[in-house]
Amino acid sequence: MSQLIIGQQGLLKSKPKLTRINGDDNLKVIYRNLGNNHAYPFVWASNHTVASGADTVVASGVKFHGYDLASYANTTLTVVSGTPDGYVYIDKDRTNNIITVKSTGSNSIEVDIKWMLGEDPSISGIYCRGTGAPMPNFP
């Protein structure tokens, strides 16, 4: 029963917060509803066309609560139409807060991007929940 007196350990910002999570009927977005008409997205998707292998800026100067999108977002890119004749990748300019889809090929393609806001978590800290129990070994 000594575990009952142990509080959550770690950063104060890591305490779970009760927030309302909403989706939209038409938009590809999941957002946190903070009340009082304040909400911000934390998971969303977008579709972009990379024309003739040209660099395509997909976000520039976007900030959420003072965090630059280029530093604060995790992005996943998937080619959905066209066959790239080179590499397709996301370039993050954290200094100028610009995210660009780049292609080393010369043909036009269409890409989907999944966005997720947040800092990298410490999975071991989330899993153990301050109990001191060891994290299981997964293959």
pLDDT digits (tens, 9 = 90+) for 97-131: 999 999 998 889 999 999 998 877 666 555 554 55
Domain count, the chain: 1
Distance of CA 49 to the CA centre of its chain: 20
Q: Residue 83 falls within a domain, yes or no?
A: yes
Identify how many contiguous H helices and E strands the chain contains and give both numbers: 2, 10
Q: Report d(CA 113, CA 79) in Å as an integer.
A: 9
Task: Please tell me which residue, 31 or 134, carries the higher pLDDT value.
Answer: 31
Q: Which domain holds residue 54?
A: 45-118
Most distant CA pair in the chain, distance: 65
Q: Residue 79 falls within a domain, yes or no?
A: yes
What percentage of residues in the chain have a pLDDT greater than 90? Answer: 35
Q: Residue 106 falls within a domain, yes or no?
A: yes
> To which H or E segment does residue 69 belong?
helix 69-72
Q: Residue 14 falls within a domain, yes or no?
A: no
| Section 80-106 average pLDDT | 92
Distance of CA 97 to the CA centre of its chain: 15
Q: Residue 16 falls within a domain, yes or no?
A: no
Q: Residue 49 falls within a domain, yes or no?
A: yes
Beta-carbon neighbour count of residue 65 at 10 Å?
A: 7
Q: Whole-number mean pLDDT of the chain?
A: 79
Q: What does DSSP say about strands 20-23 and 29-35: parallel, antiparallel, or unpaired?
A: antiparallel
Q: Is the pTM of this model over 0.85?
A: no
Q: Residue 3 falls within a domain, yes or no?
A: no
Q: Residue 54 falls within a domain, yes or no?
A: yes
